Amino acid sequence: MEPVNIGLLGLGTVGGGTVTVLTRNAAEIARRAGRDIRISHAAARAYDPERIEGLDGIGRISDDAFAVVDDPEVDIIIELIGGYSPARELVLRAIANGKHVVTANKALIALHGNEIFAAAQERGVMVAFEAAVAGGIPIIKALREGLAANHIEWIAGIINGTGNFILTEMRDKGRDFAEVLAEAQALGYAEADPTFDVEGIDAAHKLTILGSLAFGIPLQFDKTFTEGISRIEAQDVAYAAELGYRIKHLGIARRAADGIELRVHPTLIPHRRLIANVDGVMNAVLVKGDAVGPTLYYGAGAGALPTASAVVADVVDVVRALTTDPNNRVPHLAFQPTELEDTPVLPMEEVETAYYLRLTALDRPGVMAGIAGILGEEGISIEAIKQKEPVAGETHVPLIMLTHQVREAGMNRALERISALDVVQGEIVRIRMEALAG
């Protein structure tokens, strides 16, 4: 049989890794796919030929990505340019040209996936995006296929390798935030714009995708609550540890009574949970299904070869399904496109969660009672309180509190009232807390 021709867009970290994996494992991949797979045409603005193993095997390399998607010889486009534009235009043109698409572009899928999948459905082509979430972990396949029997209750994932790497290095080695971020950039983990990593945008892109796959709702990135790790302080990491918790940057998608929660934020989780021990650049996704119970998926969430592993697995899937009836393929978002529901995504004020609070208060009798009184009036029940020793000469002390679950709106009201007290100094730190009990 004729080989399948790939058009590759991008020869950066993941593009280079994809060339390497397709070259290194060519024979085994062909045995699995049933056809040889060759990159017949690639486009890249700049690349480092010394770094990429297998570059010689590519038919033609230019800097014109549109020429690749218009190349009649190409069967499958692999889009590894990243970003919104021109990736969106290239993918839509590839689809219009009747080509299947494999992409690692989470931003593109989270923001334009509804449009892209509709176009692909119409044209009868596949768009595969396993590499868009959690790098090398086959979490999309697990949600779409392996867990298809389940009513998914919730998902909690460490889905940004750079953020996890930074939090781990800060905790274990006391390293400086900026220095660790620079290392993540040098290692090719970080996004082109690293604020996407540290402000939670990259994780929000991925969570948006996971939420749609889990609950059968359209992609709604604009409704995903997003908070990053840039304001986490070493003292909170230490206080959390004293109380038996670790701070992880989590993406949480949960089916609640009134709608769906989609939220990305730093989270205290009990240190004995497996996911609390996922360190460095590694990712993990915990999925709770009603039938299967909790399942955990772990692996490298970023980097050239792990991400290429997911890209190439998608290529194999597409090649295996080339001759199948388009109406009988695995649906892009796990549920049949006509079966997506408009269940509302809840605003953060309506989400219920527990909290870690740190505030600085005057060390005087009655102060704690006043703060606890406000929490009580707002219906917030306290689980634990810790007062740190006063530093010599200081009149104020740090107070740490853990609360039971409450609606975010109630906590907002309470924090506003507590902040207004004369005895409370500076900003109140609030970190959400989840038990993640199976």
Q: Interaction with ligand HSE in 263-282: which residues (CB under 6 A)? A: none
Binding of residue 221 to ligand HSE (CB under 6 A): no
Question: Considering beta carbons, is residue 84 or 336 the nearer one to ligand HSE?
Answer: 84
Residue 302 CB, shortest distance to ligand HSE, in Å, is: 4
**Is the N-terminal amide bond of 86 cis, ω within 30° of 0?**
yes
Q: Cα separation of 434 and 398, whole Å?
A: 23
Residue 191 CB, shortest distance to ligand HSE, in Å, is: 4
Binding of residue 12 to ligand HSE (CB under 6 A): no
Count interface residues toward ligand HSE (CB under 6 A): 11
Q: Cα separation of 136 and 23, whole Å?
A: 18
By the 10 Å C-beta count (0-12 exposed, 13-18 middle, 19+ buried), 28 is classed as: exposed
Q: Is 362 helix (H, G, I), strand (E, B) or coil?
A: strand
Among 161, 211, 259, 289, binds ligand HSE (CB under 6 A): 161
Binding of residue 403 to ligand HSE (CB under 6 A): no
Q: Cα separation of 186 and 269, whole Å?
A: 30
| Piece of the chain touching ligand HSE by CB under 6 A; list 83-91, 155-163, 334-342, 421-429 | 155-163
Binding of residue 13 to ligand HSE (CB under 6 A): no
Binding of residue 360 to ligand HSE (CB under 6 A): no
Question: Considering beta carbons, is residue 263 or 358 the nearer one to ligand HSE?
Answer: 263
| Piece of the chain touching ligand HSE by CB under 6 A; list 114-122, 158-166, 221-229, 252-260 | 158-166
Q: Cα separation of 337 and 300, whole Å?
A: 31
Q: Cα separation of 43 and 6, whole Å?
A: 11
Alpha helix ranges (H) inside 273-346: 304-320
* Host H or E run for residue 179: helix 177-186
C-alpha closest to that of 239 among 13, 2, 11, 433: 433
Binding of residue 103 to ligand HSE (CB under 6 A): no
Q: Cα separation of 432 and 325, whole Å?
A: 46
| Piece of the chain touching ligand HSE by CB under 6 A; list 92-100, 120-128, 159-167, 395-403 | 159-167
Binding of residue 335 to ligand HSE (CB under 6 A): no
Binding of residue 181 to ligand HSE (CB under 6 A): no
Residue whose structure tokens are 């995903």 = 224
Question: Considering beta carbons, is residue 161 or 398 the nearer one to ligand HSE?
Answer: 161
101, β-bridge pairs: 77, 127
Q: Is 167 helix (H, G, I), strand (E, B) or coil?
A: helix
Q: Cα separation of 159 and 406, whole Å?
A: 26
Looking at residue 219, its amino acid is L
Among 15, 135, 136, 259, binds ligand HSE (CB under 6 A): 135
Catalytic residue among 99, 206, 223, 248: 206
Question: Considering beta carbons, is residue 58 or 201 the nearer one to ligand HSE?
Answer: 201
Q: Cα separation of 259 and 340, whole Å?
A: 14
Binding of residue 301 to ligand HSE (CB under 6 A): yes
359, β-bridge pairs: 399
Residue 205 CB, shortest distance to ligand HSE, in Å, is: 8
Question: Considering beta carbons, is residue 160 or 226 the nearer one to ligand HSE?
Answer: 160
E-state strands within 113-238: 127-128, 152-158, 225-226
| Piece of the chain touching ligand HSE by CB under 6 A; list 54-62, 160-168, 287-295, 405-413 | 160-168
Concerning whether 206 is annotated as a catalytic residue, the answer is yes
Binding of residue 318 to ligand HSE (CB under 6 A): no
Question: Considering beta carbons, is residue 269 or 282 the nearer one to ligand HSE?
Answer: 282
Q: Interaction with ligand HSE in 186-205: which residues (CB under 6 A)? A: 189-191, 197, 202
For residue 93, what are its two tokens?
A: 């043109």
Question: Considering beta carbons, is residue 75 or 169 the nearer one to ligand HSE?
Answer: 169
Q: Phi and psi of 418, rounded to 5°?
A: -65, -40
Query: CB neighbours (10 Å) of residue 341?
Result: 11
Among 40, 103, 160, 220, binds ligand HSE (CB under 6 A): 160
Q: Interaction with ligand HSE in 370-399: which residues (CB under 6 A)? A: none
Looking at residue 47, its amino acid is Y
Q: Give the footprint of ligand HSE on this chain (CB under 6 A).
A: 135, 160-162, 189-191, 197, 202, 301-302
Q: Which residues are catalytic?
A: 206
